[in-house]
Structure 1
Amino acid sequence: MNLGGKRMNLMERITGMITRPKETIEDISENPYIEEAVLIVGITAVFYAISAYLMQSKIIYDYGDIDVSGLETFKLITTVTPIIMALIGVFVMWVIAAGIVHLISVALGGEGKFIQMLVVYGYAYIPIIISTVVGIILMNFVDPITITISST
């Protein structure tokens, strides 16, 4: 049940996913708000994009004797693509994973609507946000690596 019979607000739900997950998930299931889940998944996507950007900055390509004057577009694509994929991929995987879990639940006799599963699964990203922030912090302590690309 939720706190005192009233609906938890967004901050109570966020902290509840860490401190009281069972009660929080029950409250989310009773009152699913897709906007809140989109916000949480969106925050996760932004942190993933930041992480992808930082990872790109930790990789140095050494082209040796290869003429790289025509590779500016390639460099741009290899820098921007992981960031864009991080932003989009989180949302795509959220919907796919929630759909798979919902289908399995229905096949096993579970009840509920897909939107409920989508919202609950969105809230399940809260621990992922925490681990991603920790990863971003730790990534700042990693030395860059050099990848040598040679024509021979």
Structure 2
Amino acid sequence: MEEKEFLNEVELNQLKSFVEENFNLIYKFINNEILKDVGVMNYNYYIKLIDDMFVKQNDLKISKINLDSNLFPYYIFTQIFGKGKMDYTSLRTETINLQKLNKQISVYYNYARFSLKDDFLYIDLMQTKIGGMPIDEDIVKVTKKIEIKSKGLEEFINKNKTN
């Protein structure tokens, strides 16, 4: 298995500076582009996620694969609660509200799992394995694939940066 290379201190500081400089535009990109057909991330929750990533985690390890600032808004989802998972009961107006997705799918699920793979952000709505179920792991009820736009954030910032 290939060992991951992580950002060094200089690269991490560059990413922090980029996020600080474009903080509000990254938030707008998340809601207007990434979650547009799925739901909405609350602004205060966004602040908390960024704070958790950069301020509270002294040992933040972002792999070099995720260095590209265009990928960063997608990467944020994989850092929710440090696992990229959020219980159904935590998915609400104060955090991330998946109301648009819930209307489309109408299925029961216990939590949402966020992951990056093959140029997509995956939102898997999961049902927890219960007691004597003859399965080895939780069940994926629905998967929503959101294409990662390789220059999406950069283009969004250039188009929307007026201040």
Superposition TM-score, scaled by structure 2 size = 0.26
Larger radius of gyration: 1
In proportion to residue count, which structure has more strand? 2
In proportion to residue count, which structure has more helix? 1
Q: Which of the pair has the greater relative contact order for Cα pairs under 8 Å at 6+ separation?
A: 1
